[in-house]
Structure 1
Amino acid sequence: MESTKKNQPKVSVMIVTYNQEDLIGETIDSVLNQDYSNLEIVVADDASTDNTPNIIKQYYDKYPDIIVPVLNQTNLGITGNSNASLFACKGELIAILGGDDLFLPGKISKQVKVFDDPEVVLSYHPVDVFLHQTNETLFLTNQTVKEQINDVYDIIAKGGIPGASSIMVRASACPEHGFDPKFPVVSDWIFSIETAYKGKVKEIPELLGRYRKHGKGASERTFELLDESLLTLSTIQQHYPNDERLSEACSKGRYRYLCGELFRQLSSLNYMRFKFVAGKIAEDVPKTKKVQWRIISILTLHPLFFKTAGVFIPKVKSLVKRFV
């Protein structure tokens, strides 16, 4: 850490971890190696059964003025552990970091500058999404104008900010309840929405983090979280019933999510899940999309077609994209 603390806002880096003994050290080191000195690293361990707690203690012994260990005695789950970390943060700005993700050099100092604008409440940047097993880069986030998140409405309509470990927020703008316990897994999405609703969202167009991707396929994970994700949108609409633009963003976000899930299940050739998602979409298709939806229904809900859908997936994807 090369820079001086004088006139620097304090930054809290909140790290949540569970059974990541092989990775947590590298994650913490990526923060310690930043060129920003006025920070604390709050590491919340969710009652790991491996050596993760001991590794955190070792870092605390070595850096007692920087490391803030939060060692849960019982497992709280992702949302509970996120709150354990968040509520222990003392900084004016809070950077989020998964226990297996990495900050790249200069990330904190560059992101802090964005908050010189007092109206900015949330900042993010592109991340390198890489495969854990090979360290191979799979893709970079936020590389096109279409992917940019410019305000809270984009966070809703586009399904959140890719790579949560890119996010830094102003502590005073965070919801008092922290991460909503109603959402056991995807609480980071509604947390970002509730925070961003209070001010400006700003992107730094520079690669400043790495997001580690493990083995489980996207079609499996996203389907498991389908109900929770849709509940996020309905909850937000209830919170801000008089905001028409937000209502439109929620509607767009719902169709975008469902159509994306439809394609993922088609790609994985899971017919039963595909039919389930298609049924969800059919419940409330906008009038302007009736024709497109009829075409999709005729083509893709027929089992014989579905069995050979792999050949036509690119064309189907193009059709689905027109739907959102």
Structure 2
Amino acid sequence: MLIKPVVSVIIPSYNRIKYIEETISSVESQCYRDYEIIVVDDGSTDGSFQLLERFKREGRIKLYTHLNGKNLGQSASINRGIDYSTGSYIAILDSDDYFSLDKLARQVYFLERNPSFGMVYGQGQAVDADGRFLFTIPDDNHIETNDPNNLLLDCYMALPGGSLIRRSVFDKVGRFEESFRAGQDHDMALRIMEEFKVAFLPEIVFYYRKHGDSISTNGLETRWRTGIQVLERAKSRYPYRKSTIRKRKAVINYRLGQVHWCRGQKLRSLGFLIMSGTLDPVRASKVLLGSKS
């Protein structure tokens, strides 16, 4: 009898009572049946933890929390899930997103037949709170170059739900950075690509929601300031091209300028925008001409 590898599906959950059951059901509906569902509750206060306790009693999930039910952030929750996982492969699914029916089957099939790859990822389809289609990332024409420079400049992967990762990869690159409350996916994707080959399969593998709880301007500022830390750490690990580092700094400054402009902080915004233009005048001219956002 052929023994299939187990996939550990890790779901970090925080106050997602409206969506968490659909998220879990999308794993239970997979064509691939050799999986475990590990949910790590991050101090929920909306009743979702009590719902998850019921799912645990029913044998649907394995449920963990942080000490004293503390809220430690998504990275800490994912790391705790990895620590308790038993599978050969790790899939991570946000608690308001959901998998396509053959997500695990297709990605396990690829990695089993391509042992030189550490990770495979597919496309994510953004939907609104009611499940209506918004956009797809990356698009059908995307080609994976396996050049970390491209990934540093533009986090084009639909993460984390779009990927399947060998558990052994985390033994090499480490866990998610728990001090980050944003940008941890980009940081991890870079660390993986710096050490392993990754593959792209052009098919929708999960759906992620854009809804009223999406990131505020405060959250966006956190994301882009974290982006500075991600960039500095990347520079210390890998020989990125100087042009890539300069262009990434330009992107971060531009996005921070946008955040402050939206807050009405025009003078502060202009400082970031001028710095962005100085670092990457070609991109700045395209933005001014309306050919790039």
Same fold (TM over 0.5): yes
Q: Select which of 99, 121, 125 maps to 1:124.
A: 121
Alignment pair present for 1:96 and 2:98: no
Alignment pair present for 1:71 and 2:69: no
- Cα gap change, 1:207 to 1:92, in 2 (>3 Å): same
Shift of 1:216: 5.7
Alignment pair present for 1:39 and 2:35: yes
- Cα gap change, 1:215 to 1:6, in 2 (>3 Å): same
Shift of 1:198: 1.8
Please tell me the residue identity of whatever aligns with 2:78: S
The equivalent residue for 2:145 is 150
- Cα gap change, 1:23 to 1:120, in 2 (>3 Å): same
Q: Which has the larger radius of gyration?
A: 1
The aligned length equals 287
Q: Select which of 180, 183, 191 maps to 1:194.
A: 191
User: Counterparts of 1:104-253 in structure 2 under 5 Å?
Assistant: 104-115=100-111, 116-132=113-129, 134-145=130-141, 147-151=142-146, 152-174=148-170, 175=172, 177-215=174-212, 220=217, 221-240=219-238, 243-245=239-241, 248-253=243-248
- Cα gap change, 1:317 to 1:120, in 2 (>3 Å): same
Normalised to the residue count of structure 2, the TM-score between the two structures is 0.86
Percent of aligned pairs with the same residue? 23
The equivalent residue for 2:251 is 256
Shift of 1:35: 1.0
1:248-291 per-position Cα deviation (integer Å, ceiling 9, x unaligned): 44433333344455567668876345324215426x625xx3x7
Kindly indicate whether the alpha-carbon contact (under 8 Å) linking 1:15 and 1:44 is maintained by their aligned counterparts in 2: yes
- Cα gap change, 1:195 to 1:22, in 2 (>3 Å): same
Q: Select which of 257, 273, 279 maps to 1:285.
A: 279
User: Counterparts of 1:279-318 in structure 2 under 5 Å?
Assistant: 279-281=274-276, 285=279, 289=281, 316-318=289-291
Deviates more, 1:151-160 or 1:206-215: 151-160
Gaps of 5+ in 1: 297-313
The equivalent residue for 2:7 is 11
- Cα gap change, 1:101 to 1:273, in 2 (>3 Å): farther
The CA distance in 1 between the partners of 2:101 and 2:244, in whole Å, is: 35
The CA distance in 1 between the partners of 2:221 and 2:50, in whole Å, is: 35
The CA distance in 2 between the partners of 1:130 and 1:292, in whole Å, is: 29
Q: CA RMSD in A?
A: 2.8
Shift of 1:224: 3.2
Normalised to the residue count of structure 1, the TM-score between the two structures is 0.78
- Cα gap change, 1:226 to 1:271, in 2 (>3 Å): same
The CA distance in 1 between the partners of 2:105 and 2:256, in whole Å, is: 37
The equivalent residue for 1:303 is none
The equivalent residue for 1:301 is none
Kindly indicate whether the alpha-carbon contact (under 8 Å) linking 1:124 and 1:204 is maintained by their aligned counterparts in 2: yes
**Would you identify which runs of 4 or more consecutive aligned residues in structure 1 move more than 4 Å?**
216-219, 260-270
